[in-house]
Amino acid sequence: MHIRETDIEGLIILEPRVFKDERGYFFESFRAATFSERGMNAVFIQDNESRSGFGVIRGLHFQKEPHAQSKLVRVVEGSVFDVAVDLRPGSPSFGKWFGLELSAENKTQLLIPKGFAHGFSVLSKQATVIYKCDAYYHPESESGIRYDDPQLAIDWRIDPSMAIVSEKDQALASLEQIMY
């Protein structure tokens, strides 16, 4: 597995070695030893899956301490633009976002450590996203930031007039509001 650092410390891109032949393909999507060798010691205890249609934006979600989650995100159907926002107090990249396309075709994964908000927009007709978490979902710790926060100015790679966002996500606070 090829592992690349991003400009934001702790946010890691994983590109598996894919073995293809006339029957199809095979790849390892996760290997604990590879993570451990790199000092990435998250122990994943919950897998989540979501399926959405074109234009859906989910997020930006996170869980507050002590129930914060690290996530390993990948796409098994379609394509999404995946986004992580650094919310770690004192981080030199606090409030910065990073995004990349994850797809069933490229098989790229994104490791998002605790202290980040996460979201994605669906670029294909349908997309199925699977992510591993190192902490259980805790409803009372759930929080988020508005997808269209002007301070973040995220380019979701879809026409804003085509965005489909839940009422719950539209009601989320701005980055400035969660800071205080």
The catalytically annotated residue of 2, 131, 137, 180 is 131
Query: Cβ(34)–Cβ(110) under 8 Å?
Result: no
| Annotated catalytic residue 67 | no
Bridge partners, 90 (sequence order): none
Tokens of 133: 């978490």
Q: 2, 25, 61, 147: which one is catalytic?
A: 61
Q: Are 57 and 164 in contact (CB under 8 A)?
A: yes
User: 147 catalytic, yes or no?
Assistant: no
**Structure tokens given for 70:** 């690290």
- Alpha-carbon radius of gyration of the chain: 16
The 10 Å CB-count burial string (b at 16+, else e) for 75-92 is beebbbbbbbbbbbeeee
Report the catalytic residues: 61, 131
